[in-house]
Structure 1
Amino acid sequence: MKRSPIRRIFRFKRNERLKRREEIRAVFNRGKAVSCPGAKLFRMENGLSHNRIAFTFARKFGNAVERNRCRRVGREAYRLMQNRLKTGYDLVLLVYPGKDFLADRMDQLKMLFSRTGLLTGTE
């Protein structure tokens, strides 16, 4: 199955993901954290020219279907906002149950990124 060129342009790239357990754990342990109702963001400088992000969930966060939907919504909200963020950070978003709509997740991310100082002045 071939993907359309437009879909390839806007996809969430592999180098934008934090995948390894050690990297995610390092952000949890050494990174700075800010929180808002329903989510907590951990950030740590990575020395790269781009940001990397991982989505994790609180214990007892529903079943696999709910977690995957929440991950998809979170990735889309991040993708829509990433051009307004400062670069060079590893980010881990810890999500709690509730607020699984795109508008809610975008509000959460906007609040968290502005509290950490990652959101640039461009709207």
Structure 2
Amino acid sequence: MSFRFRRAERLKGRDQIGQVFSRGRSVSCSGAKLFILKNDLPVNRIVFTFARKYGNAVQRNRSRRLSREVYRLIKEQLRSGYDFVLLVYPGKDSFEARQEQLSTLFSRAGLFLET
């Protein structure tokens, strides 16, 4: 079991991200929204983005690090083969709050593996 967040797991490029926004389905919870699109790859790819009024660069980078860490810890429990765009709104910026947000979003999307 690898907890690393590898380069192949990062969704990159305006076209790919735009495709997830336009063609993907979305689920939301308080403070975040998750866009999902099937990618037919053996791995999930994700990008973390923020609402326009989300603080300054320091706040956005801290929030991105928190989000990436929470995702890294739960990614082994998720189904594979999807592209994700996580849109985060200002507000809850603690590890516990972000963990709750991501768990809620992935649960609502039905992406957790059955155990």
TM category, shorter: over 0.9
1-structure distance, mates of 2:89, 2:16: 21
TM-score normalised to the size of structure 1? 0.89
Unmatched 5+ stretches in structure 1 = 1-8
RMSD: 1.0
What one-letter code is carried by the residue in structure 2 that aligns with 1:26?
Answer: Q
Cα deviation for residue 59 of structure 1 reads 0.7
Cα deviation for residue 102 of structure 1 reads 1.1
Are 1:22 and 2:10 counterparts?
A: no
What one-letter code is carried by the residue in structure 1 that aligns with 2:6?
Answer: K
Question: Identity of aligned pairs, percent?
Answer: 61
1-structure distance, mates of 2:42, 2:66: 25
Cα deviation for residue 11 of structure 1 reads 3.4
Output aligned runs, 1:61-72, within 5 Å: 61-72=54-65
Give the paired residue count: 114
2-structure distance, mates of 1:120, 1:12: 19
What one-letter code is carried by the residue in structure 1 that aligns with 2:67?
Answer: G
Other-structure match for 2:83: 90
| Off by >2 Å, runs of 4+ in structure 1 | none
Structure with higher Rg: it is 1
